[in-house]
Structure 1
């Protein structure tokens, strides 16, 4: 699913996108209401997450104008730093489908987003397939296949592998991998991440002769590389 995130703090918007990308969604971050609305003139989204207090537009104005550009069933969730009733009543009254109060908890954020998407798109609750060469990821059951054969992976191994394949050729930092895969865990030892990466490499046989190579990036993280046709 395609999700747009608006937050006056761009680093917060980027963090939300990391969480949602790790769950298999495409995500775009904004810190300007006008910029996000400009994007919606050209493209659509399946769900919006809106900060209620951005610099250039009021929360009500952003929500109202966004709803004019989205399909009627596309859900909108807003976030607010104010736990009082005024913002919440205004947001729900303007047509928001759900809300969260900052600071956001990663696990709850993902659960609420998934619930909104299930209600809005019931016909897509089956297995979504993402294919990368001989590898097929079925995101709903969390099943991974290679040349039609199921690979026995854990939940974290599945999403770690999917994260690498969705970012082929891009170096991923340890911090990024941690935020995307170990969403609810604040402290993950380096050896734990290294062990999971090693298991993904071995189970998926990510070797040059099979078309892909998963390599460490010194003092940074990891990168999945797609080999040339000759390899």
Structure 2
């Protein structure tokens, strides 16, 4: 697999490159966001690994350029030493696929990278649209329509609703939703999933009269999780 690494720290770049080479991946190294954009304009890669504090274009700038010009691929993994949790949430909602905190464990980084590449390979396989009630979800184009009108969702909102549609009629636990939509287990105190569920209810008008019902289950405070099932009516 071909991986573009954007990292200005020479020692950090060498460490990351060793991990990626040990997994059998080819690595293209640049030190600035502008160089990454120039490269991606003419070359395809399977994954982008980006130091959030790299000089030049900010992490949000490069992420926005990739998603605006290249779509949902390639996957985007960012590395950071210190970034507020709210910015991490914003980055994930803007289209980042995962992140790793420095200093990182080499085995952990390898696992994250391989998981993202595997998920990208699975997503590249042709799939059919899913129709439930007044909704049509197209996994290939990554869009959903309600009564024939497209509904604008963020990248992660689409990932969440796609997981629920793909498991229509079955209960989807919080843990499973985290793994399917985020590719990892989120922090125990995070309200990210709850926020996404709330937004999807509002944006998609998920009510029985529209042909689908989104049901939330809660357990005790000591063992709390959200269990959502999206079932055809």
TM-score, with structure 2 as normaliser: 0.49
The one of the two structures with greater contact order (alpha-carbon pairs below 8 A, sep at least 6) is 1
What TM-score comes out, normalization by structure 1 length?
A: 0.50
